[in-house]
């Protein structure tokens, strides 16, 4: 199968993404944890399909823990940690993680910033929201903003007519000018105050909840995503995968994934899951 060659506007260099089937099956079989973005990686056009959810369940049944690493809000993450077949979830681009212990019936949460800092930052973000909405016609606060604790999500194509690249860059610039971090996902520009991202909270999660895995992260952990806010994860994990729609975001990704699926969005996630399960020789038992 051919290698995908793309040209990155960010780095001005040719980028080669290897097809997923070039991942050594022995390495695929050794993966014990899958870290995954959610929007347009596990979901497809905003929907969690039955096939994608089955892939989550199958990975868990085969002994592969799944941890979503998402920009979605705390309110959603509480639901995901409780009701999806996952070990934990990192939310709001690294502001926190949540892990629900099904034996103790207890939710464990860890936030990057203490409560007083989160309150101060919330006020600053609310003021910045008014400025962005006035400056960039056509954008809107994300519909899930009321359920967010630590960040501001500005919608540029989820529930509004898609904005052009210039408008998206303007939103990013307004965050940066205010001293905030800004990351572009496939649907939102997320901004926050604090020196963290998806990767830093993922590392915190492993240090606090899975310390025995720390020495083997590069051999036993795979990350799959699709957009610019996944760049820290793509850059850190040697076993990094993009679903096919990562190609549309490649100009914003400083460090792209090493491998790419043929399938888009949730279909790509299912493709990845099946590749790992086949490498393990795992077959779903008939009901």
pTM for the structure as a whole? 0.92
Angle separating helix axes 50-61 and 265-280, nearest 10 degrees: 30
What is the pLDDT confidence band of residue 254, given thresholds at 50, 70 and 90? Answer: confident
What is the pLDDT confidence band of residue 252, given thresholds at 50, 70 and 90? Answer: confident
Residue 287 confidence (pLDDT) = 64
Instruction: Compute the distance between CA of residue 98 and CA of residue 104 in angstroms, rounded to an integer.
Output: 14
What is the pLDDT confidence band of residue 16, given thresholds at 50, 70 and 90? Answer: confident
Query: Exposed, middle or buried, 126 (CB in 10 Å: 0-12/13-18/19+)?
Result: exposed
Q: Whole-number mean pLDDT of the chain?
A: 93
Instruction: Compute the distance between CA of residue 176 and CA of residue 190 in angstroms, rounded to an integer.
Output: 11
Instruction: Compute the distance between CA of residue 71 and CA of residue 87 in angstroms, rounded to an integer.
Output: 17
How do residues 116-161 score in pLDDT, each as one tens digit? Answer: 999 999 999 999 999 999 999 999 999 999 999 999 999 999 999 9
Edge-first strand order for the sheet with 33-36 is 4-8, 13-19, 259-260, 240-242, 221-225, 33-36, 65-68
| DSSP codes joined into one string, 29-91 | HT--EEEE--TTTTSBTTB--HHHHHHHHHHHHTT-EEEEB-S--HHHHHHHHHHSS-S-EEE
Instruction: Compute the distance between CA of residue 208 and CA of residue 66 in angstroms, rounded to an integer.
Output: 17
How do residues 179-192 score in pLDDT, each as one tens digit? Answer: 999 999 999 999 99
What is the pLDDT confidence band of residue 4, given thresholds at 50, 70 and 90? Answer: very low
Q: What domains can you pick out in the chain, each with its CATH number?
A: 16-112+196-280 (3.40.50.1000), 115-192 (3.90.1070.10)
The H-or-E segment that residue 10 falls in is none
Q: Name, in order, each residue with C-beta under 8 angstroms of 209's C-beta and a sequence gap of 6 or more.
A: 88, 97, 99, 108
């Amino acid at each position: 199968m051919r290698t995908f060659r793309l040209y990155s506007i960010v780095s001005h260099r040719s980028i080669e993404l290897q097809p997923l089937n070039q991942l050594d099956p022995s390495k695929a079989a050794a993966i014990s944890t899958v870290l995954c973005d959610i929007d347009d990686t596990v979901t497809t056009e905003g929907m969690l399909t039955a096939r994608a959810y089955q892939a989550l369940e199958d990975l868990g049944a085969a002994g592969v823990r799944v941890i979503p690493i998402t920009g979605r809000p705390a309110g959603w993450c509480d639901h995901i940690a409780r009701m999806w077949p996952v070990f934990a979830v990192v939310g709001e681009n690294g502001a926190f993680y949540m892990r629900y212990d099904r034996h103790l019936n207890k939710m464990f949460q860890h936030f990057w910033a203490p409560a007083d800092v989160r309150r101060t930052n919330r006020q600053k973000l609310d003021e910045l929201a008014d400025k962005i909405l006035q400056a960039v016609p056509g954008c809107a606060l994300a519909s899930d903003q009321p359920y967010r604790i630590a960040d501001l999500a500005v919608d540029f194509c989820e529930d509004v007519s898609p904005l052009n690249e210039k408008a998206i860059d303007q939103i990013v610039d307004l965050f940066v000018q205010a001293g905030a971090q800004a990351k572009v996902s496939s649907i939102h520009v997320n901004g926050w105050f604090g020196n963290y991202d998806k990767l830093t909270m993922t590392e915190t999660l492993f240090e606090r909840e899975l310390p025995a895995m720390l020495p083997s992260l590069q051999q036993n952990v795979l990350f799959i995503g699709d957009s610019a806010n996944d760049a820290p994860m793509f850059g850190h994990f040697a076993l990094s995968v993009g679903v096919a729609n990562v190609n549309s975001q490649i100009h914003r990704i400083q460090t792209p994934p090493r491998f790419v699926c043929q399938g888009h969005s949730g279909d790509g996630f299912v493709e990845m899951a099946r590749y790992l399960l086949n490498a393990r020789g795992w077959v779903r038992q008939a009901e």
